Amino acid sequence: MSFRIYNTLTREVDEFKPLAGNQVGIYTCGPTVYDYAHIGNYRTFVFQDILRRFLEYRGYELRQVMNLTDVDDNTIRNSTAAGLSLREYTQKFIREFEVDCELLNLEKPEVRIRATDHIDDMVKLVQVLLDKGYAYSADGSVYFRVGAFKDYGKLANLDLSGIRAGARVDTDKYDKTDVRDFVLWKAAKPDEPFWEAPFGPGRPGWHIECSVMAMKYLGPSFDIHSGGADLIFPHHENEIAQSEAATGKPFVRYWLHAEHLIVNGEKMSKSLGNFYTLRDLIGEGFRPTAIRYLLAAVPFRKPLNFTFDGLHQAQHSIERLRNFRYRLTKEKFPAGENPALQVRAESARQAFEAGLDDNLNTAEALAAVFDSVRDGNTAMDRGEFRDGDRGAFLDTLTRWDRIFAVLEDTDHAKLVEYGFIKPSAATVPDSMPDASKDAVAAKLGNGSPAEAGADSLTDEAIERQIAERDAARRRSDYARSDQIRDHLLKAGVLLEDTKAGTRWKRK
């Protein structure tokens, strides 16, 4: 079966065929780096990562380009307020964005670039549009003449009958149905950064940035352009107009848009107090892999209702998968094989692949793998599972995780690496203080104190204490064994003694 995906341009689920063999060019609108990105942004970025990973899984070679919008009204306003140059100010939020991407296991695009490193290319494209009569200058700015591009509105499916010739808009964002000539180059304003151009000093409009960077790295025509649904109009409509007017070639073949995210059934907004960045959620004690899982679990064309309940469920779901894999790798089973079970594992693989082939239906892909986990666990509990059946189930899980990327428990190590958690190698001292002082000192990224918890103990420290407890149990020193278990419990680490050995997890 082949990969099919909903294309906003055709309004149909189209079979995916790249322009050139198995090479796929993808452009994704990146963040505007004036503040931390919020989880609504990350819904789109996680969708793009699932798309990317599935295309790689299917054997395509990717070239994904992501821009960083580092010049616009917001970046200029905030950098001025902070007394920093645009570059210094945006560098901080580029770094924070990179950290968030690492935490969420988002693969790095092949090309990630700043808009302000491409001003010369933008000036050139604006000049081409001026030369071809698709643009005009007014009051030092340059505008795209919407009426001159006959295909305008084809992506957003706009009715242009009410278009007012010559009406102009200077801002990057405007009303959904208000079609007006949009700005390509904004005349320089006092105290704002500007660049020289033949048509006067100024700075690029937001839309032209993406046309220029997309075509520079992917050519005039390429396979996939994606973003949030709120970018369809005007941003992506305008990208098409600028690019196709300049080159005379079709710009993008598949336009993919992720639906919006709501929080507890309401639109996310600062005034409602339900506006979350990734680090807000980490501060609430949620794991990045659980956040990734929840953002990936809803198919991209459905609105996603983001709740703390959903995050707790996501953590449990991940735990269930990890427990199953633990059993698969550690539990002892009778020798031999159970062919029916291997067929079961193989059919789960086919089902999750079929789900993703079908318009990236992540919900179906999740259901397929959880069905096989249930059946595998049942077979183990009934004594029907055989030593030779491990491989088939492990193979399905591992393949599935190449796309979903939540099986490895890397949260703690990453949170330590990026300074959200203070590391400690504390062992259980014989004198046994109440709780590790280091644990109390642990701070989360937003400055709120963490509970004295597992986050202060490194994986290695926990493993070492478990080994010591095992040794104590072997010499029948149950007092010491219980002491270590209690201490770990206070530090937020739960121990579970199984036939396959002692398993631990963080509360």
Segment interacting with Zn ion, rule: CB under 5 A, options 118-126, 176-184, 206-214, 359-367: 206-214
DSSP 204-245: E-HHHHHHHHHHHHH-SSEEEEEEEGGGIIIIIHHHHHHHHH
Least distance in Å: CB of 28 to Zn ion? 8
Nearest to 35 by CA among 291, 282, 277, 206: 277
Which residue bears the tokens 């071809």?
132
Question: Distance between CA 16 and CA 60 in Å, rounded?
Answer: 11
Q: Closest distance between Zn ion and the C-beta of residue 234, in Å?
A: 11
Stretch that binds Zn ion, among 29-37, 97-105, 397-405, 487-495 (CB under 5 A): 29-37
User: How far apart (Å, rounded) are the C-alpha atoms in residues 257 and 225?
Assistant: 9
For Zn ion, give the closer residue by CB, 31 or 310: 31
Stretch that binds Zn ion, among 24-32, 113-121, 289-297, 429-437 (CB under 5 A): 24-32
Q: How many CA atoms lie within 13 A of 306 on its CB side?
A: 26
DSSP state of 421: S
- Stretch (H or E) spanning 481: helix 478-490
Considering the complex, state which of residue 114 and residue 287 has its C-beta at the smaller distance from Zn ion: 114
- Give the total of residues touching Zn ion (CB under 5 A): 2
Q: How far is the CB of 112 from Zn ion (least distance, A)?
A: 13
The interface region with Zn ion, picked from 26-34, 90-98, 244-252, 377-385 by CB under 5 A, is 26-34
Nearest residue (CB) to Zn ion, 210 versus 224: 210
Cα distance between residue 223 and residue 65, in whole Å:
12
Asked whether the bond before 234 is cis by omega within 30 degrees of 0, the reply is: yes
Q: Residue 178, Cβ neighbours under 10 Å: how many? A: 13
Interface map 388-427 toward Zn ion (x if CB under 5 A) = ----------------------------------------
Q: Name which of 29 and 184 has its Cβ closer to Zn ion.
A: 29
Minimum separation from the CB atom of position 4 to Zn ion (A) = 25
Residue 6, helix vs strand vs coil: strand
Beta carbon of residue 461, minimum distance to Zn ion (angstroms, whole number): 45
Shortest approach of Zn ion to residue 104 CB, angstroms? 20
Considering the complex, what minimum distance in angstroms separates the CB of residue 93 from Zn ion?
17
Span between the terminal Cα atoms of the chain, in Å: 42
* Shortest Å distance, C-beta 230 to Zn ion: 11
CB of 30 to Zn ion, least distance (A): 8
Rounded-to-integer distance, Cα 112 and Cα 417, Å: 22
Per-residue binding string, Zn ion, 445-484, x by CB under 5 A, is: ----------------------------------------
Binding span for Zn ion by CB under 5 A among 10-18, 27-35, 271-279, 499-507: 27-35
- CB atoms near residue 350 (< 10 Å): 12
Nearer to Zn ion, 238 or 396 (CB): 238
Q: 320, 316, 315: which is closest to 286 by C-alpha?
A: 315
Local structure of 493: helix, strand or coil: strand
User: Which of 29, 258, 245, 240 lies closest to 155 in space, CA to CA?
Assistant: 240
Which residue of 37, 125, 179, 210 would you call a contact of Zn ion, by CB under 5 A?
Answer: 210
Binders of Zn ion in range 211-250 (CB under 5 A):
none
Q: How far apart are CA 314 and CA 295, in angstroms?
A: 10
Beta carbon of residue 402, minimum distance to Zn ion (angstroms, whole number):
28
Three-class HEC string of 48-102: HHHHHHHHHHCCCEEEEEEEEECCCHHHHHHHHHHCCCHHHHHHHHHHHHHHHHH
Q: DSSP label at 440?
A: H
User: Which one, 210 or 297, has the nearer CB to Zn ion?
Assistant: 210
Binding part of the chain for Zn ion, among 47-55, 207-215, 218-226, 339-347 by CB under 5 A, reads: 207-215
DSSP label of 499: T
In terms of CB distance, is 205 or 355 closer to Zn ion? 205
CB closer to Zn ion out of 29 and 246: 29
Tell me whether residue 117 or residue 196 sits nearer to Zn ion (CB atom): 117
> Please, what is the minimum distance in Å from the beta carbon of residue 221 to Zn ion?
17
- Minimal distance, residue 226 CB to Zn ion, in Å: 10
The string of DSSP codes covering 8-61 is: TTTTEEEEP--SBTTEEEEEE---BTTS--BHHHHHHHHHHHHHHHHHHHTT-E
Q: Which stretch binds Zn ion (CB under 5 A): 90-98, 202-210, 416-424, 460-468?
A: 202-210
Smaller CB distance to Zn ion: residue 29 or 106?
A: 29
Q: How far apart are CA 166 and CA 143, in angstroms?
A: 9
Residue 306 host element (H or E)? strand 304-306
Q: Which is nearer to Zn ion, 252 or 298 (CB)?
A: 252
User: Which span sits near Zn ion by CB under 5 A: 204-212, 325-333, 409-417, 494-502?
Assistant: 204-212
* Closest CB 235 distance from Zn ion, rounded Å: 6
Q: Give 29 or 155: the residue with its C-beta nearer to Zn ion.
A: 29
29 is an interface residue for Zn ion by CB under 5 A: yes
Nearer to Zn ion, 242 or 465 (CB): 242
Per CB under 5 A, residues contacting Zn ion are 29, 210
